[in-house]
Structure 1
Amino acid sequence: MSTTKSIAGQRPAPAAESSGENLLEVTGLEKHFPIRQGIVFQRQVGAVRAVDGLDFAVRAGESLGLVGESGCGKSTTGRLVTRLLEPTAGKVVFDGEDITHKPVVKMREARQNLQMIFQDPYSSLNPRHTVGTIVETPMRLNGINPPQGHKRRAQELLEIVGLNPEHYNRYPNEFSGGQRQRIGVARALALKPKLIVADEPVSALDVSIQAQVVNLLQDLQREMGIAFLFIAHDLAVVRHFSERVAVMYLGKIVEVGDRTAIYERPRHPYTHALLSSVPEVVPGSENRERIRLAGDVPSPINPPSGCRFRTRCWKAQDKCATEEPPLVRLEGNGDGHLTACHFPEEPTIASRGEDIVLDPALAALEEARRQSDTGV
């Protein structure tokens, strides 16, 4: 039976309580893409600093949302964590093992517990393979032989994600975008992972399908105790799905904390601006004052000195240009709420994060979450 729940149905309790132990630990993670000139004799003349020193952790069974504007380094971070990209510097420890420089041929064992759901459900599936082959391949490559056989296990996975087991022999071009993303989820579940990196898994889908896929991922997290690094730019979806949220800007994390703190008591001006810019569908929201950031996002080839947000920040002072603010807990913040700002917002400032809903389908999801949180 499918685990998919009605969009307006009661949201399940948060996934398996996180054990408090870090399943994933990232320290000083960097990825610089070199810029070269020359045809025969090339030389490096610069670098795109896509990810430039990240520190964060994901506990077993929890969901951490990673948000920020397009081009801030979110997807690159996901590929570094899964070792689809080689880091320039830093350290990635997964399940107690340092996998930062683990040889590719030896990463297969680690990837049994570390899977990824890709953003584009159209290009992430091989059009020449049947759905059954796509879902079975991870098991065959890792030498996993289910008691019921590969075919039956693949059909079970298709059923788990809300597809008909009879779809086993069909090809990806016979499915809609939402159905293809479900196939990608089934493939990620084939090895029973401990952590799934979901790289904007619903951004390419219609909003009604987004709600279904988000509900599906929540159900799977609750039932299987899977941890998620949930990468997205949709703040409403992130607030609904993630227990903690990390905010990225130009390759760095500028604020991280539990979702209530981030959405209701943001301390970093960039977080406050992000929340202020979200369209709302609540009465009176059209009269709400919004923060409009000046200028464009600086180039990651030559980022600003000191605080990278200072060129667009209305609170910037001379200190911001000379000293990079550390990511630390500020006075008035709860444990685990960290902010990187020399002149943070007051903790009493509300962002009206409770009102962030972009569509009736997601509004129903948000209402279900509120009822679950309050015990109604």
Structure 2
Amino acid sequence: MTLLELSGLRKHFPVKGGFLVRRQVGQVHAVDGIDLSIQAGQTLGLVGESGCGKSTAGRLAARLLEPTDGRVVYDGRDISHAGRRALKPIRPDIQMIFQDPYASLNPRHTVGSIVRGPMDINDLHSPGTRDAKVRELLETVGLNPEHVNRFPHEFSGGQRQRIGIARALALEPRLIVADEPVSALDVSIQAQVVNLLRRLQRELGIAFLFIAHDLAVVRHFSQRVAVMYLGKIVEIADRTSLYERPRHPYTHALLSAVPEVEVDGAPRERIRLRGDVPSPIDPPSGCRFRTRCWKAQPTCAVEEPPLVRLPGNGEGHLTACHFPEPPPGSPAA
């Protein structure tokens, strides 16, 4: 069952200029027409370089931002431009885990009040049972329930992120948008947090939009993976198909930077992209990756490639490229 569907989703932020009179001089094309869907109880990984629009897409999915255009459909209801009153009954179902475990917790509140806060605001559970629920949640995420009266600064980074996870679980959500939840943590702590999220998904049936730039972490946790570049989805497929049979040059470049990812038993040759990511204020015409792509042709500057299924790919494997890489094992590979 499709829990969340994003269709033609766009988010443009105005750029102001002028000295005496401020006026709009441009737009940041943060998200520029993406289509994604998340099934109940499954994880969709969203990967790409910094500044490609992943976090904005996550905030649009959670309706923390209102889209410029397109649709956000949650459980069959169009919430694209729903107001505060219409969103209120949906808010508990969609929760966030933020990237920075230091900035996302109020330093003046105890752990108990941080985790209990969502229940108080949404009047979930009877007041007399909320403290017991807080202790249960802390135990669920691997923290000592006796630490409810401690403050965030008394915990390590990994423990703070577990507090953030407990807060997200407090309202018993059906979907969690995890915005790079392990990028600020040490490698050993990353594994603990990701394994915790996997366990919670199995036990509670929660769906995740898992945003990250670490493809090894995404492979470990996601059933489907979407690759984003400069506000566009350039490839999307199930985990096995994308990692073993990538077709878009940008996906190849990203995967080549992950040493443990192999094709036919051999490590990928490292691909170093030339130049920097173009400005989202003035993105390239046609294919947005063409300015850094070694396969670019004149057609790429004129015509934007559609996101379609290519010969040799499975039904759910879609790629947006005029000159895709051949699948491994084909005569052209």
* TM-score range normalised by the length of the shorter chain: over 0.9
- Determine the C-alpha separation between the residues in 2 that align with 1:42 and 1:79: 27
Cα distance 1:254–1:173, how it changes in 2: closer, same or farther (>3 A)?
same
Asked if the contact 1:117–1:184 (Cα under 8 Å) also holds between the matched residues in 2, the reply is: yes
SS in 1 for 2:41: coil
Which consecutive unaligned segments of at least 5 residues does structure 2 have?
none
Asked if the contact 1:78–1:199 (Cα under 8 Å) also holds between the matched residues in 2, the reply is: yes
Counterpart residue number, 2:246: 266
Q: 2:103 aligns with which of 123, 126, 149?
A: 123
Equivalences, count: 328
Q: Give the alignment's TM-score, normalised by structure 2.
A: 0.95
Counterpart residue number, 1:157: 137
Q: Quote the offset at 1:48 in angstroms.
A: 0.8
RMSD: 1.8
Q: Quote the offset at 1:289 in angstroms.
A: 2.9
Counterpart residue number, 2:322: 342
Asked if the contact 1:146–1:153 (Cα under 8 Å) also holds between the matched residues in 2, the reply is: no
Structure 1, 43-52 or 79-88: larger mean CA deviation: 79-88
Counterpart residue number, 1:17: none
AA of the residue aligned to 1:249: Y
Counterpart residue number, 2:22: 42
SS in 2 for 1:65: strand
Query: Does residue 1:241 correspond to 2:229, yes or no?
Result: no
Query: Does residue 1:169 correspond to 2:138, yes or no?
Result: no
Query: Does residue 1:251 correspond to 2:236, yes or no?
Result: no
Cα distance 1:147–1:42, how it changes in 2: closer, same or farther (>3 A)?
closer
- Determine the C-alpha separation between the residues in 1 that align with 2:267 and 2:176: 40
Asked if the contact 1:266–1:349 (Cα under 8 Å) also holds between the matched residues in 2, the reply is: no
> What is the identity percentage for the equivalent residue pairs of Structure 1 and Structure 2?
73
Q: 1:318 aligns with which of 285, 298, 305?
A: 298
Counterpart residue number, 1:188: 168
SS in 2 for 1:169: coil
Counterpart residue number, 1:355: none
Counterpart residue number, 1:63: 43
SS in 2 for 1:311: helix
AA of the residue aligned to 1:212: Q
Counterpart residue number, 1:198: 178
- Determine the C-alpha separation between the residues in 2 that align with 1:269 and 1:281: 16
Bigger relative contact order (CA 8 A; separation at least 6) = 1
- Higher strand proportion (structure 1 or 2): 2
- Determine the C-alpha separation between the residues in 1 that align with 2:85 and 2:156: 35
Counterpart residue number, 2:289: 309
Asked if the contact 1:68–1:249 (Cα under 8 Å) also holds between the matched residues in 2, the reply is: yes
Q: 1:216 aligns with which of 188, 196, 200?
A: 196
- Determine the C-alpha separation between the residues in 2 that align with 1:48 and 1:173: 36
